[in-house]
Amino acid sequence: MDQIKYQEYKDKLQDFNNKIKENPQFIEEIAEDYNSAISYVNDFEEISRLKDQYNDNQNIKDSDLYQIIKEENTTILKKIKEIEKKYIQFDKDDFKNVILEIRAGTGGDEAALFCEEIFEVYKKYVISKGWNLDLLDISVGSNGGFKQAIIEIKGNMAYSNLKVESGVHRVQRVPKTESSGRIHTSTISVVVLPEIKDKDFQIKDSDLRFDYFRASGAGGQHVNKTDSAVRITYLPTGMIVTSQNTRSQLQNKEAALQILRSRLYNIQKEETLQKESKKRQQQISGSKRAEKIRTYNFLQDRITDHRLGKSKNYHINDIFEKNQLQDLIDDIKNESN
């Protein structure tokens, strides 16, 4: 961690706090920058405190306390390493909110059902973290489940935690509709994008085409009665984003623009990473079985994240019912570091 950066963040915090005193609503505008600054300042000061404690221990010459001091210093060095590790591969988007997209892949109705189940896993996780979740768009399957669900997740370090969920998730189980007991293999895709504000990534109006139509599927009384649904086409690439979750055309338009900004920003970010490292860092390119990052085997009550190899597996119930997703996320982040 850097002393100059620490001072810059501390000065920024002081400025933020002064403005928040004048206008409490200001915190909503600068939440991401504020969280980033306060986290860095707190971590830097904690490392400084630990180092002082370590040095004080080194000056103690009492032989009777040698073993105790040795163990304490080992713990101190471990804590310092854990804090510093967060900034070794620091991503400037780590403090951002999240646009999370879940789509059914191969497997038809079973994939749609599993898509909804994973949505519920993330919903429980968000609630346990004290974060907020808003549904931006949803497409319901013909026999239940979700063909697609796009959600906005607001919370400190949301992107830092959830970005490891990007990829293809494979499920192996006997569907409820399978009378012969045959095991089916289905997939869903999860894409986690940092939420990007308009001031941080602007799109030319001339590059956009807006179409308005009547919402379809689940959605309440407004469905098929008003042209509240919005479709945005990004003309340079033909990328299409739709939103129809609310009765308000304006709210659906803003939700669609939010999704589009995050997608375009992520494409630009990956292109930059590719140029810098000469190595493509894709989150996902499709929903084929071979591209899986995680397998959920219900018959064997086992969840295997393939980035961890065979070193550790989780029980289905631990993730789906006991809400231990954070443990799995931490294992993946530690493995990558």
Residue 219 has pLDDT above 70, yes or no: no
Give burial (CB, 10 Å; 0-12/13-18/19+) of 98. Answer: buried
Nearest to 48 by CA among 86, 74, 83, 11: 83
**Order of strands, sheet of 208-213, starting from the edge strand that comes earlier in the sequence:** 208-213, 229-234, 239-243
268-313 pLDDT, tens per residue? Answer: 887 776 665 543 344 444 444 446 899 999 999 999 999 887 667 8
Question: Is the entire prediction scored with pTM above 0.75?
Answer: no
User: Per DSSP, which regions of the chain are E strands?
Assistant: 98-104, 132-140, 146-154, 167-173, 184-194, 208-213, 229-234, 239-243, 292-297, 302-305
Local confidence band at 16 (pLDDT 50, 70, 90 cut-offs): confident
Average pLDDT, the chain: 84
227-254 pLDDT, tens per residue? Answer: 788 999 999 999 999 988 888 889 899 8
Q: What is the DSSP string of 42-60?
A: HHHHHHHHHHHHHHHHHT-
* CATH classification code of 93-337: 3.30.70.1660
> Do the Cβ atoms of 144 and 112 come closer than 8 Å?
yes
